[in-house]
C-alpha cells in the first residue's frame, strides 16, 4: 500500500485468536509469568475466574497488523497509548480495528486509532498509535 492510497477514517479490521501456547511463549520470552496468565487454578480465584491474556501481548498483535497488513511493510511504530478496559481470555476471538485518524503529509506519518474488540462486541483495548510510513 502506498501512503497516498491511505484515506482519513479508513478502517481495517482483522480477527485473531490468542491461544494458550501464545500466552505461554510470550511469558517465556518476556519473563512475565504472572499466574493469572499461566495457572488456571490461581486464575479461577481471581476476579477474572479464568486465565487472561497479557495486555502487552494483545498490543503486540496490533503491532503485527501495522507492520504486516495495514498500513503494512515499511511502517515504523513510533508511539502507542493503550487503555486496557476488559480482559481478553484464552481462545477468545478478538477483532483488531485500526482507523486512520490523521495524516501528517510532510512527514509521511499517520495517527491511528487502535482497538481490540471482544467476541461480545465490547471494547477490550482502546488506544492510539503514531506511525511513520515509508513506501
pLDDT tens by residue, 27-78: 999 999 999 999 999 999 999 999 999 999 999 999 999 999 999 998 999 9
For the entire predicted model, the pTM comes to 0.94
Residues 6+ away with beta carbon under 8 Å from 21: none
Q: Which three cell numbers stand for residue 40?
A: 488456571
Strands of the 93-104 sheet, one edge to the other: 11-17, 93-104, 109-117, 123-133, 75-84
Tell me: pLDDT of 119 over 80: yes
Amino acid at each position: 500500500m502506498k501512503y497516498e492510497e491511505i484515506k482519513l477514517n479508513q478502517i481495517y479490521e482483522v480477527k485473531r485468536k490468542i491461544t494458550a501456547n501464545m500466552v505461554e511463549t510470550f511469558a517465556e520470552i518476556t519473563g512475565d509469568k504472572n499466574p493469572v496468565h499461566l495457572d488456571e487454578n490461581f486464575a479461577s480465584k481471581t476476579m477474572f475466574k479464568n486465565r487472561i491474556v497479557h495486555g502487552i501481548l494483545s498490543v503486540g498483535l496490533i503491532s503485527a497488523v501495522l507492520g504486516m497488513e495495514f498500513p503494512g511493510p515499511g511502517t515504523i511504530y513510533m508511539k502507542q497509548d493503550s487503555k486496557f478496559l476488559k480482559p481478553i481470555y484464552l481462545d477468545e476471538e478478538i477483532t483488531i480495528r485500526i482507523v486512520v485518524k490523521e495524516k501528517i503529509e510532510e512527514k509521511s506519518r499517520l495517527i491511528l486509532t487502535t482497538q481490540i474488540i471482544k467476541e461480545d462486541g465490547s471494547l477490550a483495548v482502546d488506544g492510539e498509535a503514531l506511525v511513520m510510513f515509508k513506501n
